[in-house]
Amino acid sequence: MSSTSITPLMPVYPRCDVRPVRGEGCYLFGERGERYLDFASGIAVNALGHGDARLVKAIADQAATLMHVSNLYGSPQGEKLAQTIVDTTFADTVFFTNSGAEAVECAIKTARRYHYANGEAHRHKIITFANAFHGRTLGTISATNQPKMRDGFEPLLPGFEVLAFNDLAAAEAAIDENTAGFMLEPVQGEGGILPATQEFLQGIRALCDAHGLLLILDEVQCGVGRTGTLFAHEQYGVTPDIMAVAKGIGAGFPLGACLATEEAAKGMVAGTHGSTYGGNPLAMAVGSTVWGIISEPAFLEHVRAMGERLRGALEQMIPNHDALFESVRGMGLMLGIKLKSDSRGFVAHLRDRHGLLTVAAGDNVVRILPPLVINESHIAECIEKLSAGARDYVPPAAA
């Protein structure tokens, strides 16, 4: 049993002492007025930083006009954003959600319904990959192999098989008559900023084509400009059949989406799925504003340029602290520094001693996920804080 005593906020998060009350651009301010350089962005959410005037205005205007109506009614606001998404991606159709896990749930349901619609309901099994993270609902924790997320919640949803990431031969060997498709993050986020190899993602696409399977991509963390293209899969020359999106698409407002081709979505007919809030006018105003900004070629070019600068600077810094740092990995502004020991202590040290917010991830990785609107001065400040942090960090003695 846990010794934690109950608190008004259910104590499922090990919250740190930072208590933000205000945000401005790339900075957060705590209750005591202390300032943090925010290279965590709410875990890849605040793509436009804090308090972006365009986003604030869109929210205020829409809130004053019409905040919510039921999906029982027509949705000009939803049609507008869905059309924009269809025009700029592989997708033919979109279902709006309030979170990433809901977008993944919709993706899983869409895949199962596809095979059901084809008269092959037995094809229900989705192959997923080790150290993936797809959310915290019962369905999405069933799609992972991580005991810390699954323990105590059994029985979980059957129909998932978890394989080693980037192992194409294992993926091919696991296909059987019950397989519905594959689901993966092109760049694993929580798992430790681990990109799929080109060979792996292209190989999975080819396996899907050869066996009539669906490719579901989870771009909840790596999508919406984070890697320097609108979606990470564009850098692999591969398109999915179904894709889950969230985080950056709302840039701080709870919004997600499940995108699909017409073929993949053929089972999702009236009555098969729904959400009270999903796609409400306020969320659609946010999504339209964010998408309009982030999908601009010049914006994406900025992300790529800043990503290269930041990565180059991190790579230069590493040899100066080679007892602590091992390597840099990732794409665009989704970067990770792999440490030689557990990353959580260093993330806390950067936060508490140097006012730099980053996020710990699996595989001893410190995630660097700045707002996509950073400039060179933010990069210089981040490197200064990281270097200073590396100099005065004393790792906990090995147990």
Ligand X SMILES: Cc1ncc(COP(=O)(O)O)c(C=O)c1O
Q: Give binding residues for N(2)-acetyl-L-ornithine as ranges.
A: 136, 275
Whether 90 is a known active-site residue: answer: no
Q: Which stretch binds ligand X (CB under 6 A): 21-29, 130-138, 146-154, 174-182?
A: 130-138
* 96 in contact with ligand X (CB under 6 A): no
The burial class, CB within 10 Å (0-12 / 13-18 / 19+), for 307 is buried
Lateral strand order in the sheet of 20-24: 20-24, 27-30, 35-38, 356-357
Whether 148 is a known active-site residue: answer: no
**Least Å distance between CB 381 and ligand X?**
26
Strand partners for 29: 22, 35
**CA nearest 59: which of 281, 291, 373, 372?**
281
**Least Å distance between CB 382 and ligand X?**
22
189 or 278: CB nearest ligand X:
189
Structural contact between residues 311 and 328, judged by C-beta atoms closer than 8 angstroms: yes
**Least Å distance between CB 105 and ligand X?**
9
244 or 264: CB nearest ligand X:
244
* Site mask for ligand X (CB under 6 A), range 45-74, x = bound: ------------------------------
**Least Å distance between CB 322 and ligand X?**
30
| Helix intervals (H) in the chain | 41-44, 53-65, 76-88, 100-117, 138-142, 147-150, 168-174, 198-211, 281-294, 297-317, 344-354, 376-392
* Site mask for ligand X (CB under 6 A), range 166-205, x = bound: -------------------x---xx---------------
232 or 379: CB nearest ligand X:
232
User: At residue 392, what is the residue type?
Assistant: D
The footprint of ligand X on residues 212-271 (CB under 6 A) is 218, 220-221, 246
- Phi, psi dihedral angles at 254 (to 5 degrees): -65, 105
Structural contact between residues 161 and 196, judged by C-beta atoms closer than 8 angstroms: no
Structural contact between residues 354 and 389, judged by C-beta atoms closer than 8 angstroms: yes
User: Which of the following is catalytic: 133, 182, 200, 346?
Assistant: 133
* 165 in contact with ligand X (CB under 6 A): no
Whether 133 is a known active-site residue: answer: yes
Q: DSSP assignment of 208-262, as one string?
A: HHHHT-EEEEE-TTTTTTTTSSSSGGGGGT---SEEEE-GGGTBTB--EEEEE-T
185 or 241: CB nearest ligand X:
185
Structural contact between residues 270 and 72, judged by C-beta atoms closer than 8 angstroms: no
189 or 240: CB nearest ligand X:
189
* 133 in contact with ligand X (CB under 6 A): yes
| Residues that bind ligand X in the complex, under the rule CB under 6 A | 43, 99-101, 104, 133-135, 185, 189-190, 218, 220-221, 246
Annotated catalytic residues are 133, 218, 247
